[in-house]
Chains A and B, each alone.
Chain A
């Protein structure tokens, strides 16, 4: 039993999962004035380092203290709006949180044609706090009443992908929901939710990139061949070009600091693009 995967001590992983769906129903339960809308937009990102553990049966990587950034919200609106009356209940769940530390497991069964499984839960399940703001509005010719309430709770992040065929040579891995069996549960949705759809990428690299240039969609599509100007720790400015995944790798050591000065926008298609959000992910040093 051999595979190049057995020679990989660490995997630098970037995961970005977008859970997005919307659903609405009108004139149901026999009432033409009844309506319900449900929309979820949740982005789960994580950057972690998986360590290989000795095993003869499979290539087994894990990180028991991975944390995830979870941002987004879920909105539920429902009510009755016949002529002359409006009775609408709106609940908005929002979260912009770092999860509690949890397990990430990635294991490859090389005997079964490099079938892998990936899970964001194992010994510990990550939990995310959420705030729920509820508004109940009742307006008729006689009464006009609005009541609001807030509560805090938490939901678990349990995502798994099984029977996932991965290449024999270590490299970038992508989820493909259509072909890889997946099991996901998002405890923040409601009973009417038709089930979240998600898309994601798990990129495995020999090192971690210094910079990533992406668009501002939830997918964070990488912008390849993008020229950037960077100031190094010695004060010298240098130009780099992003790779096909929008990433720039710079060999770094010690406490060096690199500064992204600008994205060069002297020609299409980047001319006129504005810098948006800037985020930094950090990873603890190797033990």
Chain B
């Protein structure tokens, strides 16, 4: 039966950096704070602020971008803040709110380096860590609370070191001993309260190519997940994480300062959601060819851009059976009309597969001057796919891809089933827009959660777009250039216009959506 020390080896941070020092908090006999967690020794690309007085919040998250052919060296803001809201659990019909406050904070680990080697873990992908932290919170029912009431208190520090701090998964509760005393004896019975351990990790990774199929784009992952474990069966669990980008992008594009008319971005953040097509004909290795550019109607099945505050969708659910699903409408250039297509869904697949929060791009000024008609949408061009310009990506499902890093969960672990959602089987995921540039990731489980087993929330993590491989870029631009032939030549060298043509078909002086937005009326 494991102690805290043993359990924490399952976290991403301690998998990558097992000798990371920690700072101890919490009440108990060992109240003295141990040496401060090491300040990051190596300056990394990720920076952020965290104050243990408000431990459920990480703010001012930035990423240091090096110069590329498309932007100068700079440090844009990735997140204004990330919030871990209280975790709600149900225990014997009792609703318990686990506030991630300093009172319940037991430990904080912080490191600036670490490595998850290939094959080291079934739960964590190979990674090189940048600045990262792990927060450990502990809650228990206070057995000394007034009769008929309940309250939570921090887990005493000495309990954490015990080998039976948490049960092994599947273990039966120990049988009560025979408790007899004689006249000269005193018998002491210890009672073990219900306990919940919550680990909140904010792990930032160095850039890699494993976030998209075909390793064609470079991103830096960051993983602000929760890991929750109890020593008793929990009836229910609900967790919510808010991901909030700034309202305006701070990125300067194409070497020019923000807000300049020549800048290739519009700077006001916007969010869009997409579903990948499950069609085997749209394997992503086919995307990087000259003949099949990644137009939205071929690689996506559903899309919604410019999501307003209040929009919310059920993204993954164990109640979703899969099979014949929603209807999508794809533009057929040859026929000059939309064709209807019923998407075949994977089990548990819900409304959308991903969200991207990024500033739209703008067509070059010469083109906008030449084509001022707003119906062409040259002022606001959504980047997709492979957006690498100040784009926050989160995918909770990918199309059935060959890379294991893009596979979803089976009954036990992640990275197991192609095309399956990247969250545990019993979790329902709902994503709700808090503003046009912020959203809440809301998970709930109504299945009894087994004692001693980690429950992962937001295991899939997020990524920040950095760059694209030169080879990929060349192929993409070549593929897009053919579609941009009706446009003046400067369009063919423009990233913005490349994205435009993936989304729209130009029919006379109208922009026609290649894949009709979700809920939009179907043109007759």
Chain A residues with a Cβ under 8 A of chain B: 14, 18-27, 32, 35, 39, 41, 47, 81, 194, 197-199, 208-225, 252-263, 267-285
Q: Contacts of B190 on A, CB cut-off 8 Å?
A: 214-216, 220, 275-278
Of the A-B pairs whose beta carbons lie under 8 Å apart in the complex, a sample of 14, sorted by A's number, is A14-B186, A24-B21, A24-B22, A26-B38, A212-B188, A219-B28, A256-B182, A268-B94, A268-B145, A269-B141, A280-B187, A281-B186, A282-B184, A284-B184
Interface residues of B, count at CB 8 A: 54
- B180 in contact with A212 (CB, 8 Å): no
Checking B22, B91, B181, B191 against A257 with a beta-carbon cut-off of 8 angstroms, the contacting residue is B181
When A and B form their complex, which 6 residue pairs have the shortest distance between CB atoms, in order from nearest?
A218-B158, A20-B29, A260-B179, A276-B190, A217-B156, A269-B145
Bound together, the chains give a CA A199 to CA B29 distance in angstroms of: 7
The total of interchain contacts (Cβ-Cβ below 8 angstroms) comes to 203
The SS class assigned to the B binding surface is loop
Bound together, the chains give a CA A268 to CA B41 distance in angstroms of: 48
Bound together, the chains give a CA A257 to CA B181 distance in angstroms of: 6
B69 proximal to A (CB < 8 A)? no
Q: Contacts of B191 on A, CB cut-off 8 Å?
A: 213-216, 223, 263, 270, 273-276
Checking A219, A273, A278 against B29 with a beta-carbon cut-off of 8 angstroms, the contacting residue is A219
Q: Contacts of A224 on B, CB cut-off 8 Å?
A: 144
Q: Mark B179-205, 1 if CB is under 8 A from A, else 0.
A: 111111111111111100000000000
Closest to A195 in B: B32
Q: Contacts of A14 on B, CB cut-off 8 Å?
A: 186
Checking A39, A218, A273, A281 against B188 with a beta-carbon cut-off of 8 angstroms, the contacting residue is A281
B101 proximal to A (CB < 8 A)? no
Q: Contacts of B21 on A, CB cut-off 8 Å?
A: 24, 26, 35
- B150 in contact with A258 (CB, 8 Å): no
With contact pairs A257-B180, A257-B181 given, residues A20 and B148 touching in the complex (Cβ less than 8 Å): no
Nearest Cβ in chain B — how far from A219, in angstroms? 7
With contact pairs A25-B35, A218-B158, A281-B188 given, residues A253 and B183 touching in the complex (Cβ less than 8 Å): yes
Checking B146, B147, B187 against A278 with a beta-carbon cut-off of 8 angstroms, the contacting residue is B187
Q: Contacts of A276 on B, CB cut-off 8 Å?
A: 189-192
B19 proximal to A (CB < 8 A)? yes
Q: Contacts of B289 on A, CB cut-off 8 Å?
A: none
- A20 in contact with B149 (CB, 8 Å): no
Closest to B233 in A: A272
Q: Mark B27-57, 1 if CB is under 8 A from A, else 0.
A: 0111110110010010000000000000000
Q: Contacts of A225 on B, CB cut-off 8 Å?
A: 147
Checking A194, A211, A216, A285 against B186 with a beta-carbon cut-off of 8 angstroms, the contacting residue is A211
Closest to B35 in A: A24
Bound together, the chains give a CA A258 to CA B24 distance in angstroms of: 43
Nearest Cβ in chain B — how far from A200, in angstroms? 10
Nearest Cβ in chain A — how far from B103, in angstroms? 16
Chain B residues with a Cβ under 8 A of chain A: 19, 21-22, 24, 28-32, 34-35, 38, 41, 91-92, 94, 141-151, 156-159, 161, 173-174, 176-194, 232
Bound together, the chains give a CA A259 to CA B180 distance in angstroms of: 4
- A212 in contact with B186 (CB, 8 Å): yes
Checking A211, A219, A277 against B156 with a beta-carbon cut-off of 8 angstroms, the contacting residue is A219
Bound together, the chains give a CA A23 to CA B144 distance in angstroms of: 30
Q: Contacts of A219 on B, CB cut-off 8 Å?
A: 28-29, 156, 158
Closest to A268 in B: B150
Nearest Cβ in chain B — how far from A64, in angstroms? 19
Further 16 A-B residue pairs, CB within 8 A, beyond A211-B187, A258-B180, A279-B188: A20-B29, A21-B32, A198-B29, A210-B186, A211-B189, A212-B189, A215-B190, A216-B191, A219-B156, A257-B180, A275-B190, A278-B188, A280-B188, A281-B186, A282-B185, A283-B185
Closest to B21 in A: A26
- A278 in contact with B177 (CB, 8 Å): yes
Bound together, the chains give a CA A279 to CA B181 distance in angstroms of: 10
- B187 in contact with A32 (CB, 8 Å): no
Bound together, the chains give a CA A279 to CA B180 distance in angstroms of: 10
Q: Contacts of B184 on A, CB cut-off 8 Å?
A: 208, 282-285
Bound together, the chains give a CA A95 to CA B496 distance in angstroms of: 70
- A21 in contact with B144 (CB, 8 Å): no
With contact pairs A23-B35, A212-B188, A217-B158 given, residues A280 and B144 touching in the complex (Cβ less than 8 Å): no
Q: Contacts of B193 on A, CB cut-off 8 Å?
A: 215-216, 272-273
- B187 in contact with A217 (CB, 8 Å): no
- B189 in contact with A260 (CB, 8 Å): yes
- A258 in contact with B181 (CB, 8 Å): yes
- A81 in contact with B189 (CB, 8 Å): no
Checking B149, B174, B176, B232 against A268 with a beta-carbon cut-off of 8 angstroms, the contacting residue is B149
Q: Contacts of A194 on B, CB cut-off 8 Å?
A: 32
Bound together, the chains give a CA A263 to CA B22 distance in angstroms of: 38
Q: Contacts of A199 on B, CB cut-off 8 Å?
A: 29
Bound together, the chains give a CA A91 to CA B141 distance in angstroms of: 35
Checking A22, A209, A267 against B148 with a beta-carbon cut-off of 8 angstroms, the contacting residue is A267
Q: Contacts of B181 on A, CB cut-off 8 Å?
A: 210-211, 257-258, 260, 280
Q: Contacts of A261 on B, CB cut-off 8 Å?
A: 179
Checking B22, B41, B179 against A259 with a beta-carbon cut-off of 8 angstroms, the contacting residue is B179
Bound together, the chains give a CA A4 to CA B450 distance in angstroms of: 57
Closest to B36 in A: A26
Closest to A38 in B: B34
Nearest Cβ in chain B — how far from A31, in angstroms? 12
Checking A19, A41, A215, A262 against B143 with a beta-carbon cut-off of 8 angstroms, the contacting residue is A215
With contact pairs A256-B183, A259-B178 given, residues A274 and B157 touching in the complex (Cβ less than 8 Å): no
- A22 in contact with B29 (CB, 8 Å): no
Bound together, the chains give a CA A69 to CA B51 distance in angstroms of: 42
- A208 in contact with B186 (CB, 8 Å): yes
- B187 in contact with A274 (CB, 8 Å): no
Bound together, the chains give a CA A20 to CA B146 distance in angstroms of: 29
Nearest Cβ in chain A — how far from B326, in angstroms? 44
Nearest Cβ in chain B — how far from A182, in angstroms? 15
Bound together, the chains give a CA A257 to CA B180 distance in angstroms of: 6
Nearest Cβ in chain B — how far from A271, in angstroms? 6
Bound together, the chains give a CA A260 to CA B29 distance in angstroms of: 30
Q: Contacts of A212 on B, CB cut-off 8 Å?
A: 186-189
Closest to A47 in B: B186
Bound together, the chains give a CA A139 to CA B248 distance in angstroms of: 50
Q: Which of A214, A215, A253, A270 has the most CB of B within 10 A?
A: A215
Closest to B145 in A: A269
Nearest Cβ in chain A — how far from B196, in angstroms? 12
